Chains A and B, each alone.
Chain A
Amino acid sequence: MGCSRSKEIQGGCGEVTGMESIYTALSNRPVRDGIRRTRENLSKNVKENLKKYPFLKKYARELRDVKLKVINDLDFWIDRSIKKLEENGARVFYARDSESARRIVAEIVGSGKTVVKAKSVVSEEIGLRDHLEDMGNEVWETDLGELIVQVNNEKPMHMIVPALHLSEDEVIRILERVGIKGKNAEECTDKVRLFLREKFLKADFGISGCNAFSAESGSIFLIENEGNIRLSTSVPEKYIAIVGVEKIVPDDEHAIKSIMVQSAYFGTFPPSYINVIRNRQPGELCVVFLDNGRKSTDEILKEQLLCVRCGRCHLECPIFQLTGNVWGGETYGGPMGMGWSAITSGISSIENEVFLSCLCGKCRIVCPMEINIPRIILHLRKLAVRQTAK
């Protein structure tokens, strides 16, 4: 019994560089305490939601089939969505990669403007905030957690709960840097409300991502609990939505099902607010569709595009529980972050990280879209090994 390959694999699957940060995260106790607390709260909610509303599981199964259909025929659905939006009077753009998405948004916004942003992972993906700031704009994250990490100049520790690793005291100190003075969570929240209210009122542009997009009506569907998305998308005269092309579903019914599933599996259900934008009159609606690798995935990686980004796999993953979003690529971390990083930044962005997974498979069990995440991770390992063996 032996192995056919005798050649030495040079330097492994790339040098293990950039992995020091996971050890720093490991020794950063608040990260895991924050994740634990968040998981304990949310997992209980998810369980209760699914028990109380049995239709959610049905929605999820149906959504998987429908999304699969769209993903297998993306060009058709993108085309249909663009036509519908133009019919509705929106300005529509298509960005092949993050650089062109940045450029498009920067051209729309120009410089010297005030921009209020809803929390959006896709805008992190294209590095939008930094870019707009570099162009001489004042840009504010308006989700409370996202504002905190913006001020603290760091990466969100979880897609939906960006500041879960920071204690109340740390938040108080961080917010003081922008003149927001509160003695506790409640006061800080209230002061942030006043602080950002002023920004909303003077903002020239509101920018958001998109939780689901209906090709039938050309509507952007967004969910939230704070009300900042509602303000960002309605108060400024001009509103820009950045839509990952995988967010497209055929019709409004499935867009509603998608946001229901996303919020239920995240753990706050029903969402406090649902916002559906078909057109913005008075005002202007600009929609930027983003490809950035989504259209050129291979067959196994493609399944990741079904993701509704509920963040469930993160909280249940034994590695994420120790490192938070540090384990992953530039934007996307955790189990789903392996596939998403590979799609949007290429395999090299996570070629070492994929080997840290236990392949324990809990992410697959908890995923509402039943995405075989361990299969994707294993697939990425195979590609990484093959690449070095070349």
Chain B
Amino acid sequence: MDLNHLRNEIEEKRKMVREDMDRYIDIFVRSLKASSSEVEVTTDPEVVEKYRRDIQEDGGNSIVTFADSASVSPAILFFTGLEQEISTAMADHHISVILAEDIMPDVISAYRLALLKSIERGHGVIFGSSSASKTADIEGKLVWGAHGPKRFRVVVVR
């Protein structure tokens, strides 16, 4: 795999999003809400610390992670690394922070950005989340929190 080529390609996409950031974020937020995910947009990077504190006080099995990339619509956040995969899969509440500059215009380039980061870090797994865990296996009734997080919250930092 030609990593430089991949980097250039991602830069192009970044530029594209940067030029129309408000609109992209707007679409991203709406897409997440359509999957019943909670989402907020902030310019304060300190907000992450606030969440960490909340979680500690809460005492629940929650986790805050940084997403490596995201696609704008449908909104899917990508992450890398096995350890992180296990801990997010086991959490009851997954809070995910995404930097606006890592939002990509489509799923394939979002995957590619995560792929690039996974190769750089030597991570063997890439995983994507678009909502809390759900099932409709019993009489078609939608239930949140089947095996994974019962809540999925996204914080967009711009």
Contact = CB atoms under 8 A, between A and B. Distances in A.
Contacts of A37: 139-140
A227 B137 contact: no
Interface string B70-106: 0001111010001001100110000000000000001
Among A37, A166, A273, the most chain B Cβ lie within 10 Å of the Cβ of: A273
Contacts of A234: 82, 85-86, 89, 125
A230 B85 CA distance: 8
A329 interface: no
A274 B128 contact: yes
Contacts of B134: 225-226, 272
Interface stretch (A187-195, A296-304, A353-361, A382-390): A187-195
Nearest to A41: B140
A257 B108 contact: yes
Interface stretch (A12-20, A75-83, A157-165, A307-315): A157-165
B149 A168 contact: no
A92 to B, nearest CB: 15
Among B111, B129, B139, B149, the most chain A Cβ lie within 10 Å of the Cβ of: B139
B35 A270 contact: yes
Nearest to B148: A227
B59 interface: no
B132 interface: yes
Contacts of A192: 146
Contacts, number: 156
B145 A231 contact: no
Contacts of B86: 231, 234-235
Contact of A168 (B111, B132, B138): B138
Interface string A148-188: 10000000000001111011100100000000000001101
Given A227-B149, A252-B115, A164 B127 contact: no
Contacts of B89: 227, 230-231, 234-235
Interface in B104-142: 106-108, 111-112, 115, 118, 124-141
Contacts of B76: 270, 274
B147 interface: yes
Given A252-B111, A277-B125, A196 B147 contact: yes
A41 B74 CA distance: 20
A225 B135 contact: yes
B138 A276 contact: no
Contact of B131 (A168, A217, A219, A272): A272
Contacts of B74: 53, 269-270
A202 interface: no
A41 B137 CA distance: 13
A245 B72 CA distance: 32
Interface in A34-55: 34, 37-38, 41, 53, 55
Contact of B143 (A161, A186, A257, A269): A186
A105 interface: no
